[in-house]
Homo-oligomer: A and B are copies of this chain.
């Protein structure tokens, strides 16, 4: 097993990480007659042959095959997959089991991250082929089917409906530990065990929680200032309070976002994900465009030949045009369909006399927008499929922008209406509180209760069915006894739109972003809103953690080194906030509605431009990557380059003569 085999996976070989659900057959049927082997038995045998540790569990709704992989099996799979793994010289190289010492280890000391392990599992499971020269006949519950040569057994079984689901399993020990240290840890409001979250859920979810934690921690500053503006009377300087608060909040946001970028690179450095901030954006695209090129040019060598350059260029511009067209469609749809609708609602709400009618109106509106956004999401997903985005991350980003456009108009147009046209600050505040508290708190409740209700319903149905099947002999109560069947029944962590493009983080991030937009854009109208947001986020961390640990299946790990498109949206919201707050200030100080440019108004305009300048100039002063991360990153690379230099050169020279 080599010196590298002493990682985490060996001692805890009994930690089952992946489950396969197959239908539960009556015991009698298992030993059937006729030729052909039972397919589930065959699957188990093949899995064991692949080096996996297999355990069969008979549950109430189905039968489960639990899988665990020893270190050696995982390593073999990684080498077979030609998995690229970061080495100490900062290059990603193909994994080789006998050169294990060259690869960067995880912060907890193990060789493979959860994402890599899961990829290996999938490779092992779906890589079970019929390697004999003949078709193998398998049977399942008296049905017979053929497993032809070089066909994946698992895909065949999925097609036949035998394998219902392949899903990652919770690791009970780590889950309990996280539950104790994280979800139910009320001592420190914002401290989270990010490293443990990373090794349990993977990068994407850990980055989300890290961002949420930092955001919440930073929120306390404006929350305190906001509270102060409400509690303290500043006397003759009262008129200065709101502009000061405005400037503070914008600077706060600019600092926060820049420092988040630094924190992000620091975290990645700690986890041994060795991208610089900018490289990680391009790297994905590069590799994708390369593989695309390979597909298109089909093994044909392309050098600086103008032909290939032209093809690539044409393709690039075609992609840009498609993107522009799709965005134009979305923008037009928003302006022509959604905007009038939202304005009509805001207008009607303002002019409705009785409270009862207002509630009715709001109810109707809420139902309508449910449908509206669902349709919008579907349309966005369809549009994205026609874009030639480079890589999954790029598609997901594109979707994020489009869907956020919908939600942006939906969430804020009504508020803008109250803020600017009517200059009705009191109504605005009322609507703000209503939106923030009702929508956020309710959403949190719904978000957590719906999975539970789904789970309960599924459980009930499964148990009920079982009872019917057994016709309740001796009235014995049927209960779900094993952990794996409970997990199987739990809902999975998926986005409300476009399941295949993004996971449940989409909804969580959307919620966070809409909240950020609301508190930033209307900061001057209601400084106290930051307090509500801070309190809300403290509970949000716990609610999301509980959801992931208790309510849902363990999500399949996804690659993402940053929060991606959401960061850009946050930046955009800060710019919007500068403009809207200026508008609010003008409304507040220009009470007679004369719209005259007086010194005050001119001052506000100048302030706006100055803030915009600061927003865009700030990143020049504070680099996105801390110096120590850079130093760490370069250190190994430089040393290794010096040592390996000669050897490398020799192989490159050989390569070159081969290519020439």
Contacts and interface: CB of A to CB of B under 8 A. Distances in A.
A648 B91 contact: yes
Nearest to A287: B634
Q: What is the interface of chain A mostly: helix, strand, loop, or mixed? A: helix
User: A278, A609, A622, A648: which has the most chain B beta carbons within 10 Å?
Assistant: A648
Interface stretch (A29-37, A499-507, A637-645): A637-645
A374 interface: no
Contacts of A648: 87, 89, 91, 93, 102, 644, 647-648
Nearest to A647: B651
Interface string A433-446: 00000000000000
B632 A304 contact: yes
A649 interface: yes
A96 B653 CA distance: 11
A627 B101 contact: no
A99 interface: yes
A616 to B, nearest CB: 7
A655 B289 contact: no
B289 A282 contact: no
B630 A286 contact: yes
A627 B292 CA distance: 11
Interface string A624-635: 011110111111
B628 A309 contact: yes
A648 B637 CA distance: 13
A312 B648 CA distance: 32
A344 interface: no
Interface stretch (A313-321, A541-549, A550-558): A313-321
A147 to B, nearest CB: 33
Contacts of A641: 91-94
A655 B646 contact: no
A579 interface: yes
Nearest to A93: B645
A281 to B, nearest CB: 8
Interface residues of A, number: 77
Given A644-B648, A648-B89, A102 B656 contact: yes
A263 B626 CA distance: 30
Contacts of A6: none
A220 B51 CA distance: 70
A634 B96 contact: no
A308 interface: yes
Given A290-B635, A616-B616, A88 B656 contact: yes
Interface in A421-477: none
A646 B575 CA distance: 50
A643 B651 contact: yes
A361 interface: no
A351 interface: no
A239 interface: no
* 7 A-B pairs closest in CB distance: A278-B278, A102-B652, A99-B649, A316-B627, A312-B628, A101-B653, A595-B597
Given A101-B657, A312-B628, 4 more contacts: A88-B656, A94-B645, A287-B638, A312-B627
